[in-house]
């Protein structure tokens, strides 16, 4: 038995062959389209009727002796042309090959007959018009003779001309009915005699005889043509070709229907065999389905178990990633601890000096308060000692004057203000430090990136103390983001920029702007040493760093890249060795739906 993989293509081929055979039998069992067959036979019958009608009208016109009276074939010619065009269109769908094979000859035959009929009609019309003129002259002949009777002395010639014209008219009429050679010669003889007799006749009579001779000559010229066209029409092949095509078309349709009936029997037998085969396959399929369903249940339990394992691994990976981000934050803070301590120590000195100065003034204030209380008690005594009261008042007055001279109150107010300013600076540094370091500050909220830039500059103030910082913060809209994560990106890039500047005269430029209708951009540029081209493709790789051991983890740019990517943004870098580096961050106003609390 062939292996399973080899059986599948074989089964496919067998299935295709079975379906192909079924389609073949079905196609061969399709009989004649009776509606189309009826239309074609109807067209052929109508052509036969048109041909027979033409023949009848030509024969009647010839036998009745009234040329052109009933032979009006224009409408039937147009109808026959339309039928032939319809048959040409139906030839591709018609059963058999008879219509395709014989239709061109039929079209040619009808074209020839239509042409003959046109020419025959024209010849008949010529004869008819000439006869009409001849009839008119015959009616005028007696009047012309009477008109010439008085003026013309040779009256016997007038009688002879009148008799010859009458005989000529009679023979012309017989010639049009029976154009035989003998009758034609008789007409030609009388016409010659008439022309000879017209010589010397009065002008009016001579002109009339000339018109009669012209009409006779026209009949003699047109009648043989008409007779020749009549014989050609009589032997035209249009009618026989119609009958031959009709018989061949009907025989082919009958043969096709007979074959279709035989294939219908084959199709029924084949369909029954296929039904039996399909039933057997369905029984096998039911057994296979039960086995497959059981295997599927086992597989689903394994998949669920594996899914739980993957879910646990993913959760642990997210926790590790969050810890890695927090570790990078702490590493950054650890590298800035000395600078942050210095930044806190400066305002702390303000507070210490202010409090020391205040402490030096407290004994004087205490003395003033004590003496003032004594003066108040003496004034509250119902019978004070005037000398003691005067002396105490003088002492208090002296202390007040001393305070006024030294401007002690203004000095104390300034000392208090300096102390509060120092405390506010310390509070701001601590708050930014706290916001930067806490994991729970990574919640998604509306945030203005200008605030993030300012916050990062405060934390990096010690790193930037010898550098020039230029800010071009535009009027940008707030975006939905994780403020703590973006602050981490800004601080990392600002620190990298500061560390890339070796001399103390460098400059860092911070720019924010709108980017299109639904994005904002942040640029952090420095004029430091730049990034060599050979390592440009590696700067966002995890653990890649050019700093000395202990100076960096190599995760800053990698984590920054991931944070920007999670926000649906992009980060790019443009650097020239010896001139500086510019990092550009472009963020959407609305992040992807996948952005959630820190992971």
pLDDT-derived band of residue 598, with 50, 70 and 90 as boundaries? very low
Question: What is the rounded (10 degree) CA torsion for 268, 273, 279, 283?
Answer: -170
Domains, in order of start, for the chain: 4-122+236-240 (no CATH), 126-234 (1.20.1440), 337-430 (1.20.120), 441-588 (3.30.565.10)
Please report the pLDDT score of residue 410 as a whole number. 66
pLDDT-derived band of residue 284, with 50, 70 and 90 as boundaries? confident
Check residues 385 and 522 and name the one with the higher pLDDT: 522
The winner for highest mean pLDDT among 273-277, 336-340, 441-445 is 273-277
Contact 210, 133 (CB under 8 A): no
Please report the pLDDT score of residue 70 as a whole number. 41
Contact 437, 333 (CB under 8 A): yes
Dihedral sign of CA atoms 159, 162, 164, 167 in order: negative
Please report the pLDDT score of residue 96 as a whole number. 65
Please report the pLDDT score of residue 460 as a whole number. 79
Place of tokens 């210095």: 342
pLDDT-derived band of residue 546, with 50, 70 and 90 as boundaries? low
Question: What value does the mean pLDDT take over residues 432-461?
Answer: 74
Please report the pLDDT score of residue 273 as a whole number. 86
The winner for highest mean pLDDT among 7-21, 352-366, 497-511 is 497-511
Rounded distance, CA 83 to CA 90, Å?
Answer: 10
pLDDT-derived band of residue 78, with 50, 70 and 90 as boundaries? confident
Instruction: Give the number of other Cβ atoms within 10 Å of residue 353's Cβ.
Output: 14
Check residues 233 and 444 and name the one with the higher pLDDT: 444
Question: What value does the mean pLDDT take over residues 449-456?
Answer: 88
Question: What value does the mean pLDDT take over residues 345-356?
Answer: 60
Give the pLDDT confidence of 165-214 residue by residue, as tens digits.
888 888 888 887 778 888 888 888 888 887 887 777 777 777 877 888 88
The winner for highest mean pLDDT among 155-159, 182-186, 241-245, 367-371 is 182-186
Query: N- to C-terminal Cα distance for the chain?
Result: 56
CA angle 532, 534, 540 (to 5 degrees): 85
Say yes or no to pLDDT of 147 above 60: yes
Give the pLDDT confidence of 461-489 residue by residue, as tens digits.
877 888 889 999 999 999 999 888 888 88
Give the pLDDT confidence of 399-411 residue by residue, as tens digits.
777 767 666 666 6
Check residues 4 and 546 and name the one with the higher pLDDT: 546
Tell me how long the chain is. Answer: 599
Please report the pLDDT score of residue 69 as a whole number. 44
Please report the pLDDT score of residue 95 as a whole number. 64
Please report the pLDDT score of residue 484 as a whole number. 81
């Amino acid at each position: 038995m062939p292996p399973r993989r080899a059986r599948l293509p074989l089964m496919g081929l067998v299935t295709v062959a079975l379906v192909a055979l079924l389609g073949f039998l079905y196609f061969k069992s399709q009989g004649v389209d009776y509606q189309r067959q009826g239309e074609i036979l109807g067209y052929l019958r109508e052509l036969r009727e048109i041909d027979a009608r033409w023949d009848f009208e030509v024969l009647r016109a010839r036998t009745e002796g009234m040329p052109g009276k009933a032979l009006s074939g224009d409408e039937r010619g147009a109808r026959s042309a339309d039928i032939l065009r319809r048959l040409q269109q139906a030839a591709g769908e018609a059963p058999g090959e008879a219509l395709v094979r014989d239709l061109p000859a039929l079209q040619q035959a009808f074209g020839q007959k239509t042409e003959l009929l046109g020419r025959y009609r024209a010849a008949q019309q010529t004869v008819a018009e000439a006869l009409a003129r001849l009839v008119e002259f015959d009616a005028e002949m007696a009047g012309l003779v009477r008109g010439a009777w008085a003026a013309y002395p040779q009256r016997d010639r007038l009688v002879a001309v009148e008799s010859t014209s009458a005989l000529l008219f009679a023979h012309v009429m017989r010639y049009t009915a029976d154009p035989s050679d003998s009758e034609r010669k008789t007409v030609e003889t009388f016409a010659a005699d008439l022309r000879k007799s017209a010589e010397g006749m009065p002008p009016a009579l001579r002109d009339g005889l000339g018109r009669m001779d012209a009409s006779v000559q026209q009949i003699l010229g047109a009648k043989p043509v008409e007779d020749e066209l009549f014989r050609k029409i009589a032997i035209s092949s249009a009618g026989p070709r119609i009958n031959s095509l009709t018989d061949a078309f009907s025989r082919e349709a009958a043969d096709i229907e007979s074959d279709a009936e035989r294939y219908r029997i084959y199709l029924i037998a084949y369909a029954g065999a296929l039904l039996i085969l399909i039933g057997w396959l369905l029984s096998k399929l039911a057994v296979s389905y039960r086995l497959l369903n059981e295997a599927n249940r086992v597989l689903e339990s394994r998949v669920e178990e594996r899914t739980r394992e993957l879910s646990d691994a993913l959760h642990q990976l997210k926790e590790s990633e969050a810890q890695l981000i927090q570790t990078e934050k702490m590493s950054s803070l650890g590298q800035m601890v000395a600078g942050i301590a210095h930044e806190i120590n400066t305002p702390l000195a303000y507070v210490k000096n202010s409090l020391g100065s205040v402490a030096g003034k407290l004994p004087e204030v205490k003395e003033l308060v004590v003496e003032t209380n004594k003066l108040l008690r003496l004034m509250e005594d119902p019978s004070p000692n005037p000398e003691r009261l005067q002396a105490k008042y003088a002492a208090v007055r002296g202390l007040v004057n001393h305070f006024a001279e030294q401007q002690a109150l203004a000095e104390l107010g300034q000392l208090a203000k300096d102390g509060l300013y120092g405390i506010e600076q310390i509070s701001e540094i601590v708050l930014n430090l706290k916001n930067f370091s806490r994991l729970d500050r990574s919640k998604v909220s509306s945030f203005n990136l200008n605030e993030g830039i300012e916050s990062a500059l405060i934390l990096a103030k010690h790193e930037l103390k010898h550098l020039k910082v230029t800010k071009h913060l535009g009027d940008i809209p707030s975006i939905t983001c994780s403020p703590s994560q973006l602050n981490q990106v800004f601080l990392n890039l600002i620190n990298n920029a500061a560390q890339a500047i070796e001399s103390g005269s460098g400059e860092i430029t911070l720019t924010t702007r709108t980017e299109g209708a639904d994005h904002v951009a942040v640029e952090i540029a420095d004029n430091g040493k730049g990034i060599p081209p050979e390592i440009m493709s590696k700067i966002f790789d995890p653990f890649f760093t050019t700093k000395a051991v202990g100076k960096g983890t190599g995760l800053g740019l990698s984590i920054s890249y991931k944070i920007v990517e999670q926000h649906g943004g992009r980060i790019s870098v443009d650097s020239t060795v010896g001139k500086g580096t510019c990092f550009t961050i472009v963020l959407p106003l609305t992040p992807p739906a996948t952005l959630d609390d820190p992971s």
